[in-house]
Amino acid sequence: MHPVIILVAQRLALGLLLLLAASVLIFVGTQILPGDVAQSILGQSATPQSLANLRAELGLNEPALVRYFNWLGGILQGDLGKALTNGQDIATAMSKRLGNTLFLATCAAVIAVPLAILLGLIAVRYQGRWPDRVISTVTLATVSVPEFLLGYILVYFLSVQLRWFPSLATVYEGMTLGEKLYAVSMPVLVLVLVVLGHMMRMTRAAILNVMQSAYVETAELKGLRKFTIIARHAFPNAVAPVVNVVMLNLAYLVVGVVVVEVVFVYPGMGQYLVDHVSKRDVPVVQACGLVFAAVYIGLNLVADVVSILSNPRLRHPK
């Protein structure tokens, strides 16, 4: 069997193992939370008999191991369970929310990824000069500011003072693409500023590392333009670390948008999770955690596979 196929199969097996471990941690984490789920659903005025009946109905009287395998078996069959608060099917309710989150993440990625690569190339081209210093300083500042604080600052200036963008990201069915893009402009801007610095700095570092190679010196001796050398010779050989950091930030755009969605009241997975955490709706919290873990592990697997395919030393480890 070809070595690349073996390496990809190993990564896929490792990803499934990690997802299984994540499911265990998610289930254990939700079970050891203090308080009583039945009590939180029925309220303080519930009678002991009604609490006992609800615990039996929810299966809380069964051993934890049995409940875990019942939950895992349902997931393997595509059944994420029902929400305790309203009885809705979690998979159905989550599909719309996941679509909104993916739309938000896609919009941010379409802007952030090419912009980060372009800024990284410019920073390398003018290394040590004022463009490099300005780009590095601004991106470092945006990375250092927490998402919620950055969001409130942008809302104050762009929404309250200048009235350029809406302060709340309200989307619903029937909106045109242009209306949706305008509605999500503020959370997209926050996400772009948050992930831009990390990707740009990693791109800059990876290209600078490749610029020390002998073939780059040969290209310089041939009289090629500096930006041509960076874009055509250095950057293609720095793709592997750049892809890794891009995929990590794409995973953040899907998994780490909880704070941004709450700030802008965006109807995505993050807002859905926070709403049901406050209601102690354990099945919804478990399902959201598992979906977030699957997305994060899946994007990291894609990064590993792309790194293997783009680097001959990884394709032929011997």
Average pLDDT over residues 189-206: 84
Q: Would you give the end-to-end CA distance of the chain in angstroms?
A: 15
Structure tokens at 140: 């470092």
Helix ranges (H only) for 211-267 are 214-221, 226-229, 239-255, 258-263
For the beta carbon of residue 129, count every other beta carbon within 10 angstroms: 10
Highest mean pLDDT of the ranges 78-82, 98-102, 172-176, 220-224: 98-102
Cβ–Cβ under 8 Å, residues 159 and 185: no
Residue 17 pLDDT exceeds 80: yes
Cβ–Cβ under 8 Å, residues 22 and 290: yes
Average pLDDT over residues 107-130: 84
Residue range 24-39, pLDDT digits in tens: 888 888 777 666 666 5
Q: What is residue 297's predicted lDDT score, i.e. its pLDDT?
A: 86
Tell me the C-alpha distance between 45 and 140, whole Å: 52
Residue range 41-70, pLDDT digits in tens: 666 666 677 767 766 766 666 777 877 888
In the 3-class helix/strand/coil scheme, how is 5-32 assigned residue by residue? HHHHHHHHHHHHHHHHHHHHHHHHHHHC
* Residue, of 131 and 42, whose pLDDT is higher: 131
Residue range 251-291, pLDDT digits in tens: 777 777 788 888 888 888 888 888 777 777 788 888 888 88
Q: How confident is the model at residue 133 (pLDDT cuts 50, 70, 90)?
A: confident
Cβ–Cβ under 8 Å, residues 160 and 167: yes
Which DSSP string corresponds to 253-265?
A: HHHS-HHHHHHTT
Q: What domains does the chain contain, in order, with CATH numbers?
A: 90-315 (1.10.3720.10)
Q: What is residue 312's predicted lDDT score, i.e. its pLDDT?
A: 62
pTM of the model: 0.77
Q: What is residue 75's predicted lDDT score, i.e. its pLDDT?
A: 82
Letter string b/e over residues 270-301, b meaning 16 or more CB atoms within 10 A of that residue's CB? bbbbbebbebbbbbbbbbbbbbbbbbbbebbb
Phi first, then psi, for residue 112 (nearest 5°) are -75, -40
Q: What is residue 8's predicted lDDT score, i.e. its pLDDT?
A: 77
